[in-house]
Structure 1
Amino acid sequence: MVTSKDVAKHAGVSQATVSRVLNGYPGIKQETKDKVMQAMAELHYRPNFIARSLVMNQTRNIALLSGTLKNHFFVETTDNIVRLAAEKGYSVMVHFEHMGDNLSLFETISRYKPDGIILSTIQLDDPLLPQLEEANIPYMMFNRRPRTGGNYVVIDNRLAGELNTRHLIEYGHKRIAFLSGHLNVSTFFERKEGYEATLKKYGLQPDPQLMVMTNGTPQEIEVAAVRLMQLSSPPTAIICATDAMALTCMDVLIRMGKRIPEDVSICGVDDIDIASHQSIRLTTVGNYKQQMGVLAIEMLMNLIEAEEEALQPIQIVLRPELIVRETTGACPP
């Protein structure tokens, strides 16, 4: 059986270097990595992760608490996380959120003793956070963060709300609606803050009738969109807090006989793959979904494999960009 010692000899490096390459340690020259990987391929070496797990008292399992797969954002980020973890020798156990039931999920996951937890289900004042801290399990959050503390990778959601709102104001819109999920989630809460602050900055007073919070299901989005368009003074533009909501909203408006963007402009946030489809061309704010998921799982694996606990929380905020496509246009006369 080929061992890591054989790989080290074949590559002309130390056995410790082979170990560092296998475990993804930073600071290793690309030339050295290439030598090790080539030696592994030529010798048909397969790392014995089971034996290593026993020695290091690790399971090589990571638990992922993900948002619903009805939102393509979570489909795409879950795929990236599982793929990258597998490349590093980790298996990912995927669990899907039940609204507000993170504690029960955490209890279930804890029985399997994962090496770390990555989650996109945290709420602003989630009772799960102190449980995570007390359990002393490495964890990372992405796309959502608590009100204070925690390890996370998110975008600047206030800026996301600002970018969409400013874009529509510059097109001449004044009746701009905001369609969102519940405000106990940082993504929606902060995007709404950016929306309201930008309206005020341009001398527009936020109208409570134009701000609709839902549970995010297509059924509630449909009801909300219809109500908005039935107002005595309906909006000429709608900002949806996610692309998934925007796609549902577009479908509803088209069924109502509305033209997009001639009658109503629509924009979203996330830049999911289908948003750029030629038949849709959704204006959105890109939030580096791939980079967000990749960064979160990389940070988690670093925490798992670090010899000492991180002294400071890992808090990464990515800057989003406005991507103007064909669902937004000038305010109708």
Structure 2
Amino acid sequence: MTAYLLRRLLHAIPILIGVNLITFALFFVVNTPDDMARLHLGEKHVTADAIAGWKRAHGYDRPLLYAPEAGGLARFTETLFFQKSARLMVLDFGRADDGRDIGRDIRQRMGPSLAIAIPSLVLGLLTNITLALGIVFVRGSRLEHTAVFLAVLGMSISTLFYIIGAQYLLGKLLNLAPVSGWLDGWAGIKFLVLPLLVGVVSGIGSGVRWYRLLFLEEAGKDYVRTARAKGLAEGRVLSQHMLRNAAIPILTGVVAVIPLLFMGGLLTESFFAIPGLGSYTIDAIRSQDFSIVRAMVFLGAAMYLLGLLLTDVSYTLADPRVRLQ
């Protein structure tokens, strides 16, 4: 197990380096610092002096990869690649274009994002699996066809509709929960009601449809027919046999949302005014703060690789037949 984890961690390093290089190329080669200056200054006819002043003020006046006028290691460290990209590999996110410490902002905003993402993930997973098992239990009936129709209808509706609908119906008309805002501690639980509800309900359509297909595939296998032949009740077959054997596909689907635990829901956090990483990214895009956007892109890639590693490890816990070599 230890050797496997070390190998996977070593495999992740080249991937992170590749993500870092691609991000660097997009921000500094395709979209040059001169282009950033023009976008940030917001003027049609920007003078060369104004561009040079903006680049100097934000640290974008260095060479890209090599500084021949510097001496020793400074030829490589006094470059845009080292100052703006290479430091990301050790989670040194640097400072935003307005001078803020990006690492400090991330630590402060991670809590609200996790407060929404983790309950949404757990509640959504339990809800979707329970409903999917119920649909498989009544397979072949009109109730199944109705449930599948509602699932397809639900996944066809935009998340934005659920957000606005919940804010208007539950927040404004019925006044059951605050429409937006945030408070730290237990006092902030009331601000989690609508975001959690939207997170769970908006994912029911696609989640139920996906898990239903998994369980229907398992329902036709030999071990299920054997369990039924032994006289086991259908509910026990579904919960104790099919669910256990479908654990690996379920874990594979869960890994796709691991980055959301840290990155937050972009739309949800923005519309509900939650100071998480999702709204942090949206605000950075609006203000054209390229340092924050680069940091969040890299952080998202790192979290996804971590999710893949955790998923592989969890396979051994879900199915003892799987051995990590």
* TM-score computed with the length of structure 1 as normaliser: 0.26
Identify the structure with bigger relative contact order (alpha carbons < 8 Å, sequence gap 6+): 2
Q: Of Structure 1 and Structure 2, which has the larger fraction of its residues in strand?
A: 1
Q: Report the structure number with the largest CA radius of gyration.
A: 2
Larger relative helix fraction: 2
Report the TM-score, using the length of structure 2 for normalisation.
0.27
